[in-house]
């Protein structure tokens, strides 16, 4: 079960560190660092159900404004 109650002892410290993590990075570098961070935390959590809940919550309310280029194949 995903914990969405406060769980971080010093939230402002954490938030500052999270932003500082991206200092002087280009958007592309930031994207890479974020991706690594997600992978590291996901592995730490491990629990597939919790990870799926977190993914669903992260995506919740985001109306897709882009489109993955999918090529239909018919033979």
Total length of the chain: 75
Q: Which residues bind other proteins (CB under 8 A)?
A: 31-32, 34-36, 38-40, 43, 68-75
Which of 40/57 has CB closer to other proteins? 40
1 vs 74, beta carbon nearer other proteins: 74
DSSP state of 61: T
Per the CB < 8 A criterion, the answer to whether 54 and 1 are in contact is no
Q: How far is the CB of 39 from other proteins (least distance, A)?
A: 6
Nearer to other proteins, 8 or 74 (CB): 74
**CA-CA distance, 20 to 9, in Å (whole number)?**
18
């Amino acid at each position: 079960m995903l914990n969405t109650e406060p769980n971080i002892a010093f939230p402002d410290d954490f938030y500052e560190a999270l932003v500082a993590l991206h200092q002087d990075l280009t958007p592309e570098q930031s994207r890479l660092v974020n991706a690594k961070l997600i992978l590291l935390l996901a592995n730490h959590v491990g629990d597939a159900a919790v990870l799926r809940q977190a993914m669903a919550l992260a995506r919740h309310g985001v109306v897709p404004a882009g489109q993955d280029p999918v090529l239909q194949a018919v033979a």
